[in-house]
Amino acid sequence: RNPHPPFITSTMQQEASRKLGFTTTRTMQTAQKLYEGIKLGGETVGLITYMRTDGVTLSEDALVNIRGMISTQYGEKYLPEQSRVYKSKSKNAQEAHEAIRPTDVNRRPEEVKEYLNEDQLKLYDLIWKRTVASQMENAVLDQASVDVGSPDKAVILRASGSVILFDGFYRLYREGKDDAGEAAAKGDGDEKQLPQMTEGEALKRLETELEQHFTKPPPRYTEASLVKSMEELGIGRPSTYASIIRILQDRNYVVMESRRFMPEDRGRLVTTFLTNFFEQYVQYNFTAELEEKLDDISGDRLDFKTVLNEFWKPFHEAVDGTKDLTITQVLDVLDEALAAHFFPETEDGTDPRKCTNCEDGRLSLKLGRFGAFIGCANYPTCKFTRKLKLSEDDVAAGDDPTASGPVKLGEDPETGHHVQLCKGPYGFYVALMDPEAEAAADAAEAEAEKKRKEEEAKAEAEGKPKKKTKAKKPKRPKPKRVSIPRGTPPGEVTLEQALSLLSLPRDLGNDPESGEAIQAGLGRFGPYVKIGTTYVSLKEDDVTTIQLDRALEVIAKSGKKKINLGEYEGHPVTIQKGRFGHFIQHNAVNTTLPKGTEPESYTLEQAIERIEAKREKEAAKAAGGGTAAKTTKTKAVKKTTKAKKAPAKKKTTAKK
């Protein structure tokens, strides 16, 4: 087995995804910090070379240092006779920069560990190992098949794989795989490692498992495999892989499930629209060929005006061909193209498009103020709607109880207001409606509509041009509303449950240690308990019945509760848990807790030392000129302001 070349942008993103679980964005942000520089002993040092590259070559100085490192640390048997030279396999490789490597290979990961955060250390360790391994000796493996049989030869089982004879670069680094079967599919026989065995050796059976295998479709893309495919197809550049993937997620075209991309309905709609109306611009070869033309332009082999003219004329024609289409015409095309997805065949053979709320209604793709949805063709007579994609809650709910409008569950005994089950763009909810206020709003709305029609009739009688106007709707009172918890079938919601939900958030009492108020409520991300400004999700407990003692227990287990150490300078000193671990908070000062420190055993005196150290550090930094410049600027502004006021007073006095 030959070692893999040192990292380029795409392979670094792939390996960081496989081995570290990093997203492409997280990888590039971390690499940027390593490239820009880390403070080592008072000096800022860049630890890696430029991280946006498609070149696999290493400088001569780097090769000399790496080979010296291998010889010293691992021995001559791990050092090949000559330096390894790699060539890029990428279609559009520009190779303007060398491969991603440590700026000094003698700076081992364990030596810079104390200066790096967790992400930086993991990525630097990965880059260091890959770089050194790329110049190590081959790994030697023996491809083997082993037959294991019962004493009477009635059962014979075969295992195929490889046995390592010399580990070579394997001693330091092995490339990851997205799937267990990926290597086998590519003929990499070393995916299964077999132990050393001799013919006739007796083996002890530990366990027997029966397995059945079926042919599976290609797996969904991971970030690593998507970057790899983009590189192979010539889509994008090293500098754009991460941003392309981030945009797909930010726009909700895809969603990550179990570290794999799953297409969302919004993404399906956009893709179907583009493939039906702008087909040539979403072809893989269009992007790849355009990248090649851009390379030719940068190399003075092609005039940029020629490329623009070739692109603009057909693109302008495609836009002209679609700009006059109505929304209905576009929806009809999308409805037909995505019929199998939105209206799959039913098990009983009934028409999947038949409306379940009326006799002769046909379901189709519609567009509303909150986006696309499935609706009945008999609207407004039939108001049946459903989301494009049914969630697990929707499937559990069965028929929509609100298909014909809000359902009245009863009345609130305290106010007499109506308790209703409703459905909005984000799911089912219960609402407390004031019948008198609603009736008044309905009457005002009807009066406004009547007035509008009278004005239109008057204008028509006078021969004035007919204008389409809308009656101004009166402001309706906003009722209290609470979403139904996930997993609750809307058809089974009772008046009692609805009233319990409408009573949220509930005051449970105060924390006996800090005196902070504790509440239980239902938010955007589900049920929670809250202490001060800290929220803790409830996974098992019922938000409508949980009591103070249980809430305190849940908060304590979460580790999010503040630890009050005491007061300093009239302000509380607390230990809190943030995204990157525990930290000390005092007034406007936040400082991290030393690594390996138990928050529960930390004292006020130790915290004060950290606070003062942070202040001294910030004061020293300010003395460097940043704050002074800011102060000078502020004073200058104040002087200017006074100068403007003075003439104004003199002018007024002169007039008098």
Give 550's pLDDT tier (boundaries 50, 70, 90). very high
Band (644; pLDDT cuts 50, 70, 90): very low
Distance (Å) of CA 143 to CA 180, 187, 241, 308: 18, 11, 37, 55
Is the pLDDT reported for residue 398 higher than 60?
no
Is 50 exceeded by the pLDDT of residue 186? no
What pLDDT digit, counting tens, does each position of 322-369 carry? 888 888 889 999 999 999 888 888 888 888 888 877 778 889 998 887
Query: Which residue in the list 50, 74, 115, 535 is annotated as catalytic?
Result: 50
Q: Distance between CA 396 and CA 487 in Å, rounded? A: 8
Predicted confidence at residue 401, as pLDDT, reads 65
The answer to whether the bond into 505 is cis (omega within 30° of 0) is yes
Secondary structure (DSSP) of 234-298: T-S-TTTHHHHHHHHHHTTSEEEETTEEEE-HHHHHHHHHHHHHSGGGGSHHHHHHHHHHHHHHH
Cα distance between residue 499 and residue 503, in whole Å: 6
Lowest mean per-residue pLDDT among 112-126, 479-493, 638-652: 638-652
Q: Does the pLDDT at position 180 exceed 60?
A: no
Q: Give percent above pLDDT 90 in the chain.
A: 26
Q: What is the pLDDT of residue 133?
A: 93
What's residue 646's pLDDT? Answer: 44
Model confidence pLDDT, tens digit, residues 18-70: 899 899 999 999 999 999 999 887 889 999 999 998 889 999 999 999 999 99
| Cβ proximity of 159 and 145 under 8 Å | yes
Confidence of residue 226 (pLDDT cuts 50, 70, 90): very high
535 noted as active-site residue: no
Q: Exposure of 3 by Cβ count < 10 A (0-12 exposed, 13-18 middle, 19+ buried)?
A: buried
Q: Is 178 helix (H, G, I), strand (E, B) or coil?
A: coil
Q: Which CATH superfamily is domain 1-200+220-259 in?
A: Topoisomerase I, domain 4 (1.10.290.10)
Return residue ranges of the chain for CATH 1.10.290.10. Answer: 1-200+220-259
404 falls in which pLDDT band (50, 70, 90)? low
| Amino acid 524: pLDDT | 76
Provide CATH code, domain 332-389.
Answer: 3.30.65
Q: What angle do CA 350, 352, 358 make, to 5 degrees?
A: 90
Position 471 confidence tier, pLDDT thresholds 50, 70, 90 = low
More confident residue, 443 or 429: 429
CA atoms within 13 A on the CB side of 605: 0
Q: Where in the chain is the domain with CATH 3.30.65?
A: 332-389
Residue 625 has pLDDT above 60, yes or no: no
Mean pLDDT (the chain) is 82
- How far apart, in whole angstroms, are the C-alpha atoms of residue 446 and residue 453? 11
Q: 596-618: b or e for each residue (b if 16 or more CB lie within 10 Å)? A: eeebeebeeeebbebbeebeeee
- pLDDT confidence tier of residue 469, bands split at 50, 70 and 90: low
Would you state the structure tokens that stand for residue 630, as one six-digit string?
């800011």
Query: Which amino acid is it at 545?
Result: T
In this predicted structure, the answer to whether residue 595 has a pLDDT above a threshold of 70 is yes
